[in-house]
A and B are shown apart, each in its own frame.
Chain A
Amino acid sequence: MSSHLNFLFPCSMFAAKLLLSINAFMPLKKLLLLFSVTLFLFSCYKFGKKPENETWTSTPKVWGYKPVYASSETSAKAIVYSAVPQAVVNAGNIYAFHNYIFQIDPGSGIHVIDNSTPSAASRIGFITVKGCTQMSIKNDKLYTNSYDDLVVLDFSNLANVHEHSRLKGVFPELRYYSPIAQPPVSGWYECPAYDKLVTGWTRDSVYQNCFKN
């Protein structure tokens, strides 16, 4: 092996020296096997370039969506109740409990409907729970998810719906596959960073590295 080659393949120096030192003692077949294994181990390594510095220069940027990240995960996952009903953006799962009907607005929160008199049923409020997709109720405690957290809400007093407890990160799949983890419409978008929390999307020019059908 020349020094030039050793410069290009710094990590294979050891393997090369090993090869050189043993080639006198080994039959050709074993040597070939050892060589191919070494080649295989280095086959995916891009020499002279750190993977994180890679840019997708081969494809041009296009108009698409860029993720908006939470500056603080705690405040992004905060629970807020408002006695002002909100318009439904995305309709999701429904739930009935005593005189109430709940409907998830995936990613943003839970609509509350008063059904004490069905003929006069009406929207009465909205619980902001970012990243929510599911809910269930037992004994005046509402169990829902904020992204990957299980959040328990106390709504024994509707005017004062508040967080009762929280189990952080219990549903990992609901963090990355929640509706808010993808842009609202189909097209190219910038793949979200896995260590950050997506709270929304903004129009921007992006590389063609993630696509929503």
Chain B
Amino acid sequence: MRVLNYLYVIAFTAFISCEKSTDSGAAAANTVGAGGSLSRFTIAGNYLYAVSSHYLYAVDISNPALPKKVSESPLNFDMETIYPYKNRLYVGSRTGLYVYSIDTPDKPVLIGEAKHGRSCDPVVANDTASYSTLKGSSVCGPATSGLYVYDVKNVNNPLLKKTILIDEPIGLGIADSALYVCAAAGGLKVFSIKDAYDPAIRQTLTGANFVDLIPYGDVLICWVAEGIRLYDISNRLQPVFVKQVAN
């Protein structure tokens, strides 16, 4: 009888531990939020990656009560933004697009770069392409303003495939086959990226001064100069205005 009790306890423990691990596995995928494309902090796995102007930091946050800085890479270019995609970090700087591998998560390694004229440039990416907006200005540099489309299938050598002129592009985001680009007072540009290297403009939403955005499920969250503006993007290429939360 005692043996049976033990067996029962062991079986139950095994069941519980299994249950627990699948739970946390499923939860982990949902418990990281989403940042705008102008962010300089991002979390991938158990690491927080942060860029300040001249450094890329990796901080181990497996124990949030005791975060540990594990690497600090000094860089000789002005870092602007960071965007995680799978095992890569896409870093936008004032001199180009830089791709880091985080296969060894505590030590990001620079694996590819595409230089461009000096400008400010956030970046977003998927499996085949990365999209940057370059804003030429007195502060950022003289590059031609627009949307720059790169082929990143060979990540060691991003290839510039197309440039679409936009006056004052800032933040941008991808939801499936839609690409949204903020163009300040010029509105929000909605592109179809069914052909990844040839974005096709579908419409321009106006009525606010668009700075950055986050596609979050079926909601497109926009930071506009006037506040936070929300759109329903159940139909990705046809955003429907929902609400503006004033500043």
Contacts and interface: CB of A to CB of B under 8 A. Distances in A.
B243 interface: yes
Given A96-B216, A171-B57, A121 B32 contact: no
Contact of A91 (B33, B211, B243): B211
A177 B79 CA distance: 13
Interface in A86-111: 87-88, 91, 93-98, 101, 103
Nearest to B219: A118
B7 interface: no
Interface stretch (A45-53, A131-139, A191-199): A131-139
A19 interface: no
B235 to A, nearest CB: 15
A162 interface: no
B67 A118 contact: no
B64 A115 contact: no
20 contacts: A91-B211, A93-B36, A93-B212, A98-B33, A113-B228, A136-B42, A138-B43, A143-B41, A144-B41, A150-B48, A150-B59, A152-B65, A152-B67, A165-B66, A167-B68, A170-B59, A170-B69, A171-B55, A173-B52, A173-B55
Contact of B53 (A95, A120, A123, A177): A177
Interface in B188-215: 211-214
Interface in A12-67: none
User: How big is chain B's contact interface, by range?
Assistant: 35 or more
B101 to A, nearest CB: 20
B52 A150 contact: no
Given A98-B33, A121-B243, A164-B64, A143 B48 contact: yes
Contacts of B67: 143, 150, 152, 165, 167
A136 B39 contact: yes
A95 B54 CA distance: 23
B40 A133 contact: yes
User: How big is chain A's contact interface, by range?
Assistant: 35 or more
A167 B69 CA distance: 8
Given A167-B69, A171-B57, A103 B223 contact: yes
Nearest to B227: A88
Interface string A130-160: 0001111111110111000010100000000
A181 interface: no
Most-contacted residue by chain A among B28, B32, B41, B232 (CB, 10 A): B41
Contacts of A133: 40
Contacts of B50: 134, 145, 150, 171
A83 B243 CA distance: 22
A174 B57 CA distance: 12
B61 A134 contact: no
B140 to A, nearest CB: 13
B225 interface: yes
Given A93-B38, A113-B245, A115-B230, A138 B32 contact: yes
